[in-house]
Amino acid sequence: KYSALVTDIRLLGRLDGWRVARGAREIDPSFPVLYITGGGGDEWPTRGVPDSVLLNKPFSPDELVAAIAKLLKNGAPA
């Protein structure tokens, strides 16, 4: 069992992080999602799933841990 999804927006191949997150939310509408990106974050308001978090690269390990902790603490409304 997974507690959250952490995905880069830009993935190799035909999938992207937007699609991966939508797929996870189809299974569980309240599943916490954290997007990471080095570019493309400007699309997050329109392409990201609701109640998700975006973390821009570069980031420190502490920033990643803090973002995940915040996401899990707040959760996403059902």
Task: Report all structural domains of the chain as residue ranges with CATH numbers, in order of start.
Answer: 5-74 (3.40.50.2300)
Type of residue numbered 57:
K
Residue 42 has pLDDT above 70, yes or no: yes
Judge contact between 13 and 33, C-beta under 8 A.
no
Q: In what order do the strands lie in the sheet with 5-8?
A: 5-8, 33-37, 53-56
pLDDT of residue 74: 75
pLDDT of residue 41: 86
In the chain, what percentage of residues exceed pLDDT 90? 78
pLDDT of residue 20: 97
Q: Taking the model in full, what pTM does it have?
A: 0.87
DSSP bridge pairs for 55: 36
Average pLDDT, the chain: 91
